[in-house]
Structure 1
Amino acid sequence: MNRTTMLLAGTVAALTMAGSAAHAERGSDGNLKVLFWQAVSTMNIYLSGGTKEQYASSMVIEPLAGFDEKGNVYPRLAVEVPTLENGGISKDLTTITWKIKPGLKWSDGSAFTADDVVFTWQYCTADGGGCAQKAKFEGVKTVEAVDPTTVKVTFTAAKPYPYTAFVGSLSPIIQKAQFKDCLGIKAPECTAANFGPIGTGPFKVKEFKPNDVITFVVNDNYRDPAKPSFASVTLKGGGDAASAARAVLETGEYDYAWNMQVEPEVLATMLKAGKGTIKTAFGSQVERININLTNPDPKLGDKRSTKEGGPHPAFSDPAVRKALALAIDRDIIVEAGYGAAGKATCNIVPGPDAYVSTKNDAWCLKQDIAAANKLLDDAGWKKGGDGIRAKNGVKLSFLYQTSTNSVRQATQALVKDMWAQIGVSVELRNISASVFFGGDPASPDTFQKFYADLEMYTNNFDGTDPEPYMAQWMCDKAPSPKTGWQGENMPRYCNPEYDKLATELSKTVKLEDRAALVKKLNDMLTEDFVHIPLVYRGQPSAFSNSIVGVKSTGWDSEVWNIADWSRKK
């Protein structure tokens, strides 16, 4: 087997999708009660970069293939995962052909066909629209329906890692019949479709109340007649992480609560009640502070926080960005907010191990207030009578925003104190997670609009290959009014050399060469101080002791195998 075949075939796993408990009968376990303290604002992941939307929508709309708990690719709507060995990938690596499982139906009873897959690509790449997952389709030239059950994806050049488009819960298939009038600028206007997509997953939406509650019921046309075990799912949104954890671990009111970003000592106390457990999966999540490289001044109107509005008056000086990074003590942040579920990092790619850089660890992982102050002194940023540095009329006084969460607010407070020691002042702002991650193009408070100087949150990538993730910082991925404020490049970074390397990565075959390029791209983002990585986070969630069949993963939707969950008899 040659190295290319090893690379492609080695990521593919054959799974048996059996749960830990036998499924006696579809719907026999009643209602599953789920709590997301970050409420869901849409069921269309193409219009949101939020993890909460990713997880909720993944119960309804599915990709051709997904990633299991080990990060391996496995077939969902496809018969098998295409490889060089089975002929699904062309020898020149320019095409991948997917065979769809026969007899698949949408939840409305209509046939699922290759035309729906083609349409999904057209939807995300339509002119005048904004697609939050556009990086998944980077390098895709055409998508063709060879016949009703065969889809051929052709790339603009050899694609050594072709498991991007239509793979993972960030790239699901949407129904052409439902979304055909929702292309481009019309996408956000299709409320009924966005709130209640017709899908192929184990559940379908019965009622959706944005930023509140979603009621799911069994999809009667789901391909496995014995699944799911639960007849319905009630997903309640809102509140905070601590109350969500308590509702599962102490009171037993809920069966599952996602994203327990709660102080370690608080969780330890809750676990003593004996009603639930915490499952933590490590993948690629990094809590980071994004630096706005454009000017967020409200006076700029529609050009605010866009490349057209010009560079940030202070962050255009790399010395300022580096000083902010040097002044942070990551170990204290980990100890205070994450415990064993976190590790200090200076990388935006924290795993898998083959892709992890250590180049900047020596200087970056150690707080150095003296070096940060000297850097600003040498760059001409002088302290005024109020202790805040300024230069040419520009003060180092910033708005620092994040979502509402006790751990994040504690981190903000720690960082504010650290930056005060180098003459930098920050105003702290927290925004409801349902709004911050909601993706509403009309809202001024979304993380995509970035109407602030600095913002903090966690992000990650599907699967174990970071190629599409690295494409997110290419120049054309920056959110703007032209894209309906969709896009993944929140700092508005634009470096032709970065784009060149990201394009090279998409064409590189050998695993060791791909790893070297990922490290270079990671280091470029770190050394250009596009953002400040803080914590490599595990993904802790709370589960009732009565729920079995869960296989936690950090490489895809946490509910990737919800069809196999059941209640202990």
Structure 2
Amino acid sequence: MKKRYSLLLGAAALALAPAAAMAERGSSGHLNIIYWQAPSTLNPYLSGGTKEVESASLILESMARFDQDGNMVPWLASEIPTIENGGVSEDLTSITWTIGDGITWSDGTPLTPADFIFTWQYCTHPEGGCAQASSYDGVTNVEAVGDNQVRVTFGAPTPFPYTAFVGSESPVIQAAQFADCLGARAPECTDANFGPIGTGPFVVDEFRPNDVIEMSANPNFRFPDRPYFATVTFKGGGDATAAARSVCETGEFDYAWNLQIDPTILAQMEAQGRCNVVTAFGTSVERLHLNQTNPDPALGDIRSTAEAGPHPFLTDPIVGQAMSMAIDRALITEIGYGAGGQPTCNVLPAPELYASTANDACLVQDIPGAIALLDGAGIVDTDGDGIREYNGIPLRVLYQTSTNAVRQDTQALIKQWWAEIGIDAELRNIDASVFFGGDPASPDTFQKFYADIEMYTNNFAGVDPQAYMANWACDEWPGPDTQWQGSNIQRFCMEEYDALIEELAGTADLQERGRIAREMNDMLVQSYSIIPLVHRGGVSAHAVTLEGILMSDWDSELWNIMDWRRAQ
């Protein structure tokens, strides 16, 4: 077991990036960041959107983070707990974290074990609808051990205990600030959600939801010489192309995130010499979710819930399989992603130990095969209008995604291919700030899923997929009882899958964990409730004057922003 942990953690104790010679806090002046999907909250527990998680990561921190190579590094903790150093119990039922010396919140009060205990209670409250609840799966208790240690106890042996309080999706929040925000009251705590007190390098000066965040250096940050930037403007909104231009052509911004644009155009921008394009591959997959519940608007408030009943035809894997076979993933990748993408048939594409090869047939488009599959199942066009029927119901789907040129190009291609096999698609795109916003009152969020099919990218922090694959547990469906939070977006549910979640949580051997995770991936993909398209690398751009950027796709790509600086 000790050997396995050594292999898993790798360079877990890597030191943070060295400080620039003679640099000091605030010496680099002002930093302008643009995320063309604007954050709607700075509480990552109330939104599964990447834009919320990453913007909040400048303020809120966790015990450990994942660097640009996927190595775990201590953050708020003094070291990574392992069996070797006594931090992980021999029976794998607990992990004990030691808080680093002298760490305070930005208001000057000390960070204590009570804050971690509260964070666990906050996210696991049955009425809270925590978007990151899977990070705390299996945790039965969080307790203080002395003044500076936090023990996390699991209900069963947990071979990979680095989920709670690890990575950008599971930060600690201040118990004093959020004390009155438990359960159903969580979304109502506007002041706390929009201006969380954190331990990170920056503090919030002003937050305008779906627009802009103004931040300044945390005066109580534990590294006296950092962050090197005194102030940050975090601008949201617009589109990916405009964001790229603002860095690579006009110089209005210093850093632009998620440049999902024509790769040829991006290369032309970079050639002008004002920016560097950076790419990092991790686990991001652009995919289609096929709603397994009925989204018919006539059902009113119960649409896309268990009460609405199953989808009229998307619960039949034959329909989903034909839709998948009709797609040319290689062409989508070439046109939309270039070197920043790879065609994939898996929702879990990496690390290599967990990547299945059982679904690789999808890499080759097969429209004749899709037609034959539907014909053989008796799903045919009976009235000659070019659209097949399933038990008398025309195969017409509402296919939605966020507003983005690459996604709209992908939609248009897929609509054309589906038309060739007798399936009609109505296309809809929603402003990304709304689509990923998590507002329980909005009908247009990806969690509510008021459509038949929706497309977006998701990934997981770190290198172990246990918490990520648990996203598709039957009890992870979003719904009104959870403020529409939940990770099982397509409303997939199989008892056999839930059993594999439990098996993975109780398996220590790495090779066995790989086998179980691959089986889970295959079960999901072969249910055709989800159709993977492209293994996406994160593609961003920064001004040539910026130094210290170590882009990670295993965590927030802003994970080491305290080390960013302006070239002298």
Indicate the TM-score class for this superposition, using the shorter chain for normalisation.
over 0.9
- Matched residue of 2:269: which SS? helix
Equivalence for 1:366 = 364
| Matching of residues 85-164 of structure 1 within 5 Å | 85-164=84-163
Amino acid aligned to 1:366: V
Equivalence for 1:233 = 232
Superposition TM-score, scaled by structure 2 size? 0.98
Equivalence for 1:535 = 534
Are 1:21 and 1:568, in contact at CA under 8 Å, matched by a contact in 2?
no
Matched, 1:6 2:6: yes
| Matching of residues 362-401 of structure 1 within 5 Å | 363-383=361-381, 384-401=383-400
Distance, in Å, in 1 between the alignment partners of 2:536 and 2:517 is 20
Are 1:246 and 1:270, in contact at CA under 8 Å, matched by a contact in 2?
yes
| Matching of residues 498-509 of structure 1 within 5 Å | 498-509=497-508
Are 1:342 and 1:535, in contact at CA under 8 Å, matched by a contact in 2?
yes
Equivalence for 1:27 = 26
Are 1:21 and 1:548, in contact at CA under 8 Å, matched by a contact in 2?
no
Q: Report the more deviating stretch, 156-165 or 138-147.
A: 138-147
Are 1:3 and 1:510, in contact at CA under 8 Å, matched by a contact in 2?
no
| Structure 1 residue 18, shift from structure 2 partner | 2.5
Distance, in Å, in 2 between the alignment partners of 1:326 and 1:415 is 11
Equivalence for 2:430 = 431
Unaligned runs of 5+ in 2: none
| Structure 1 residue 365, shift from structure 2 partner | 1.1
Distance, in Å, in 2 between the alignment partners of 1:40 and 1:19 is 31
Distance, in Å, in 2 between the alignment partners of 1:129 and 1:397 is 36
| Structure 1 residue 4, shift from structure 2 partner | 4.0
- Matched residue of 1:205: which SS? strand
> CA offsets, 1:404-463, max 9 Å, x none?
000000000000000000000000000000000000000000000000000000000101
Going from structure 1 to structure 2, the CA distance change for 1:318 and 1:228 (only over 3 Å counts) comes to: same
Are 2:315 and 2:529, in contact at CA under 8 Å, matched by a contact in 1?
no
- Matched residue of 1:523: which SS? helix
Equivalence for 1:172 = 171
Distance, in Å, in 2 between the alignment partners of 1:3 and 1:336 is 44
Amino acid aligned to 1:470: M
Equivalence for 1:79 = 78
| Structure 1 residue 148, shift from structure 2 partner | 2.6
Are 2:2 and 2:83, in contact at CA under 8 Å, matched by a contact in 1?
no
Distance, in Å, in 2 between the alignment partners of 1:137 and 1:514 is 19
Matched, 1:326 2:301: no
Are 2:68 and 2:551, in contact at CA under 8 Å, matched by a contact in 1?
yes
| Structure 1 residue 300, shift from structure 2 partner | 1.8
Are 2:39 and 2:236, in contact at CA under 8 Å, matched by a contact in 1?
yes
| Structure 1 residue 502, shift from structure 2 partner | 1.2
| Structure 1 residue 389, shift from structure 2 partner | 0.7
Equivalence for 1:404 = 403
Amino acid aligned to 1:369: I
Are 2:317 and 2:526, in contact at CA under 8 Å, matched by a contact in 1?
no
| Structure 1 residue 302, shift from structure 2 partner | 2.4
Distance, in Å, in 2 between the alignment partners of 1:555 and 1:23 is 31
Amino acid aligned to 1:6: S
> CA offsets, 1:55-96, max 9 Å, x none?
100000001111111111111111111000000000000000
Unaligned runs of 5+ in 1: none
Distance, in Å, in 1 between the alignment partners of 2:184 and 2:7 is 39
Distance, in Å, in 2 between the alignment partners of 1:14 and 1:23 is 25
Equivalence for 2:421 = 422
| Structure 1 residue 371, shift from structure 2 partner | 1.4
Count of aligned pairs between the two proteins: 567
Equivalence for 2:53 = 54
> CA offsets, 1:319-375, max 9 Å, x none?
1111111111101101110111111000011111111110110x2111111111112
> CA offsets, 1:3-46, max 9 Å, x none?
444355x3452222225733521111111001111111110000
- Matched residue of 1:382: which SS? coil
| Structure 1 residue 245, shift from structure 2 partner | 0.3
Superposition TM-score, scaled by structure 1 size? 0.98
Are 2:2 and 2:84, in contact at CA under 8 Å, matched by a contact in 1?
no
Equivalence for 1:355 = 354
Q: Report % sequence identity.
A: 59
Q: Give me the CA root mean square deviation.
A: 1.1
Distance, in Å, in 2 between the alignment partners of 1:155 and 1:191 is 32
> CA offsets, 1:547-568, max 9 Å, x none?
0001111100000000000000
Distance, in Å, in 2 between the alignment partners of 1:450 and 1:23 is 52
Are 2:291 and 2:451, in contact at CA under 8 Å, matched by a contact in 1?
yes
